[in-house]
C-alpha cells in the first residue's frame, strides 16, 4: 500500500496546464495559427477561454476541422496530428496528460520527410533562434515548414488511406526515443503515483480508516515560470509542476 502523507505539487490526475495565445500571423496557405504536430504518448485537451478558430486534426480516421469558441472543450489521443487556426483572439487553457509531457518534448512537428531522417537533423530544423520578439521569425519559419509536411500527409492520406501516416509515425518514434527515460520518470512521479494513491485511498476507506484526511491541505502553483514563450501553436505561459 502507498505511504500516506502530504501530496506533492502534482495537479489532480497528474495533468499539466499552460495558457496558450494562438499565433496571429498568417501562414502561406492564408490561414492564421499554429504549427501542426503530434504527441506520441500523451493526450491533450483544450478549454477555449476567448476568441474563435478551429483545430484541424489528421489521424487514421481522416482529416477533420472542429470549430472552437469560448467554452468549447475538445481533446484528442496520442497519434492525432493537430493544427490550431486562429480566427481572432483565440486563447486556450491547454490540459496535458502526464504532468505536461507535451511541453517536455512529447511533440514532433510534421516536417517534410527529409527533415525527419534522424534526431539531429530534426533538431536542426526545429530549434528556434533569437531571444524575445526576435525569435518570432524563426518560429514562423518552423511553422511554415511543418505546414509543407502537413499538406503532403493530407494528400497522401487522400490517396492511400491510414497507411499514409505510418512513415511519419515511424520517423517520429525514432526522433523521441532518446527522451523516453525522462518521460517514464515524469509519468511515474506524476500520473502513475497519483493513480496509486487513489487506489490506496479506496483500500483505506474500505477498512473504515482514512488517515490521509488528517493531512489534507490546499495547494497553489506559483506564477508562471515563463510568460509568452514561443511554442508550437502560439505564445505560452508555462507552469513548472515540479515533477
Q: What is the residue-level pLDDT of the chain in tens, covering all 243 positions?
A: 333 333 456 788 889 899 999 999 999 999 999 999 999 999 999 999 999 999 999 999 999 999 999 999 999 999 999 999 999 999 999 999 888 787 778 999 999 999 999 999 999 999 999 999 999 999 999 999 999 999 999 999 999 999 999 999 999 999 999 999 999 998 998 899 999 999 999 999 999 999 999 999 898 888 888 889 999 999 998 887 654
Q: Which three cell numbers stand for residue 189?
A: 512521479
Burial class (CB in 10 A: 0-12, 13-18, 19+), 96: buried
The pLDDT, as a whole number, for residue 5 is 37
The pLDDT, as a whole number, for residue 3 is 37
Residue 134 phi/psi, 5° resolution?
-70, -10
Do residues 76 and 43 lie in contact, with contact meaning Cβ atoms separated by under 8 Å?
yes
Length of the chain: 243
In the chain, where are the structural domains located? 12-208+217-238
The pLDDT, as a whole number, for residue 9 is 61
Say which residue the cell 480566427 belongs to.
87
Burial class (CB in 10 A: 0-12, 13-18, 19+), 159: exposed
Q: Which three cell numbers stand for residue 48?
A: 477555449
CA dist 82 and 64 (Å) reads: 10
State which CATH number among 1.10.3720.10, 3.30.70.890, 2.60.120.10, 3.20.20.70 fits the domain covering 12-208+217-238. Answer: 2.60.120.10
Query: What are 52's strand-pairing partners?
Result: 69, 88
Do residues 96 and 186 lie in contact, with contact meaning Cβ atoms separated by under 8 Å?
no
Give the closest residue to 188 by CA, choosing from 40, 10, 38, 4.
Answer: 10
Query: What are 206's strand-pairing partners?
Result: none
> What is the number of H-type helices and E-type strands within the chain?
6, 9
Q: Report pTM.
A: 0.91
The pLDDT, as a whole number, for residue 239 is 82
Spell out the residues 6+ positions from residue 46 whose beta carbon is closer than 8 angstroms to its own: 55, 68, 72, 73, 74, 75, 92, 93, 94, 95
The pLDDT, as a whole number, for residue 13 is 87
Give the closest residue to 107 by CA, choosing from 18, 7, 196.
Answer: 18
Measure the CA angle with vertex 140, ends 183 and 52; round to 5°. Answer: 85
CA dist 53 and 28 (Å) reads: 17
Do residues 57 and 64 lie in contact, with contact meaning Cβ atoms separated by under 8 Å?
yes
Amino acid at each position: 500500500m502507498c505511504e500516506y502523507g502530504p501530496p506533492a505539487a502534482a495537479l489532480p490526475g497528474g495533468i499539466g496546464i499552460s495558457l496558450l495565445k494562438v499565433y496571429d500571423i498568417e501562414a502561406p496557405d492564408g490561414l492564421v495559427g499554429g504549427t501542426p504536430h503530434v504527441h506520441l504518448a500523451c493526450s491533450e485537451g483544450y478549454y477555449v477561454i476567448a476568441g474563435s478558430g478551429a483545430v484541424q486534426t489528421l489521424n487514421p480516421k481522416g482529416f477533420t476541422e472542429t470549430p472552437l469558441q469560448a467554452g468549447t472543450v475538445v481533446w484528442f489521443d496520442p497519434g492525432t496530428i493537430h493544427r490550431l487556426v486562429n480566427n481572432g483572439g483565440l486563447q486556450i487553457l491547454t490540459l496535458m496528460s502526464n504532468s505536461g509531457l507535451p511541453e517536455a518534448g512529447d511533440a514532433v512537428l510534421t516536417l517534410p520527410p527529409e527533415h525527419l531522417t534522424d534526431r539531429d537533423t530534426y533538431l536542426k530544423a526545429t530549434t528556434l533562434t533569437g531571444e524575445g520578439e526576435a525569435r518570432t521569425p524563426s518560429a514562423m519559419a518552423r511553422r511554415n515548414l511543418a505546414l509543407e509536411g502537413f499538406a503532403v500527409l493530407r494528400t497522401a492520406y487522400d490517396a492511400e488511406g491510414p497507411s499514409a501516416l505510418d512513415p511519419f509515425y515511424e520517423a517520429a518514434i525514432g526522433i523521441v526515443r532518446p527522451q523516453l527515460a525522462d518521460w517514464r520518470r515524469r509519468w511515474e512521479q506524476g500520473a502513475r503515483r497519483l493513480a496509486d494513491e487513489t487506489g490506496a485511498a479506496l483500500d483505506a476507506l474500505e477498512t473504515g480508516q482514512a488517515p490521509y484526511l488528517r493531512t489534507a491541505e490546499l495547494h497553489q502553483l506559483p506564477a508562471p515560470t515563463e510568460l509568452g514563450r514561443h511554442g508550437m501553436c502560439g505564445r505560452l505561459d508555462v507552469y513548472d509542476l515540479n515533477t
